[in-house]
Amino acid sequence: MSDQPFALLIAGPTASGKSALALGVAGALGGTVINTDSMQVYAGPRVLTAQPSEAEMQVVPHRLYGVRDPAEAASVAWWREQALAEMAAARAAGRLPILCGGTGLYFRALTEGLTEIPPVPAVAREEARHLLSAEGPAALHARLLAADPDSAATLRPSDGQRLARAWEVWRGTGRGMAFWHREGGTGPAMLRDVPWRFAAIRLDPPRDALRAAIGLRWAAMLRGGAEAEVAALLARGLDPALPAMRAHGVPELGAVQRGEIGLEEAGRRACLAIGQYTKRQATWYRHHALAAPSQTHTIHARITGMEQFSERERLEILAFVRSCVDGSGTAH
């Protein structure tokens, strides 16, 4: 390894095969896989959030999977702090940090930095959650538009979690999210005052391949115990506005357990929601570079494992990563 710390980013939409690729690269190059997915940090819904299996986690080190209680919302700032610690630990052990996931905001927090916002009083946070629960995201967006139009203009009326965060920041600090973004923040990731270098492998499979994969994943989740995971979450009586309670499949299977819809309808709704989410993910990645073009390798296929590639393709992927480690990476 060079003196400047280096980490590999593996990103793409849900069901594109990021975890399988990360496992293959980590096994070949001595890597540690660090979760970069906002739902996979939660303990409990392992099947629902498609966390790596116990067997996969025995093959190479995996970090930040299932480490957060669903009752406690995980912030981007919390994840960034944990990820930086795991990246430093991997490097100290002579392993390649591989950040794998589909949450673009997490990747951006690493590569571009995170806006620093003062602590928000609990009363403001509780007010935001109450408004979101009682009135819904569209009404909360309308409130925010009147109070803090600059911040509201950057958010979708359906994005309840981010709207609630924007509302609590405005109420709790007297300034909106847009103001704090303009103020600057942490800056890119550093290790003992030396900036991390990043290269990226971006998965961009065809839409039809993703649709098929989403259907297969849903069926596998049901076989793997997804209904029991949802029952366990509901039994805790958690706030439905919490991120873990809005993970794909939780609202739909919760409706099944309340007798509101059947399992087939739940599957239709869940797969539709996941498909729409993957479109937004793909759009985000097309408009946000995770690394310089010369340090980015794009794969236009869904990954089921390194074994799906020809020997030439496997060598090409690994050669790209090795070249980026020594600073001479070239895009493919």
Mean pLDDT of 225-232: 97
Q: Is 16 annotated as a binding residue?
A: yes
pLDDT at 185 over 70: no
The alpha-carbon radius of gyration of the chain (Å, integer) is: 20
- At residue 331 the predicted structure's pLDDT band, cuts being 50, 70 and 90, is very low
Would you state the torsion angle of the CA atoms of residues 25, 26, 31, 35, taken in this order, to the nearest 10 degrees?
100
| Distance in angstroms (rounded) separating the CA atoms of residues 159 and 240 | 14
What's the CATH fold of domain 122-183? Histone, subunit A (1.10.20)
Cα gap 99→205, rounded to integer Å = 19
The answer on whether 70 is annotated among ligand-binding residues is no
In percent, how much of the chain has pLDDT > 90?
Answer: 77
Specify the pLDDT at position 328.
55
Give residue limits of the domains in the chain: 6-114+187-325, 122-183
Out of 3.40.50.300, 3.50.50.60, 3.30.420.40, 2.30.29.30, select the CATH number for domain 6-114+187-325.
3.40.50.300
How confident is the model over 5-13, as a mean pLDDT?
A: 96
17 is in an annotated binding site: yes
| Residue 168 in this model has a pLDDT that exceeds 90 | yes
Whole-model pTM: value is: 0.81
Residue 330 has pLDDT above 60, yes or no: no
Among the ranges given (159-163, 270-274, 306-310), the one the predictor scored with the smallest mean pLDDT: 159-163
Is residue 226 annotated as involved in ligand binding? no
Average pLDDT, the chain: 92
Task: Tell me: is residue 12 an annotated ligand-binding position.
Answer: yes
Give the model's pLDDT for residue 62: 98
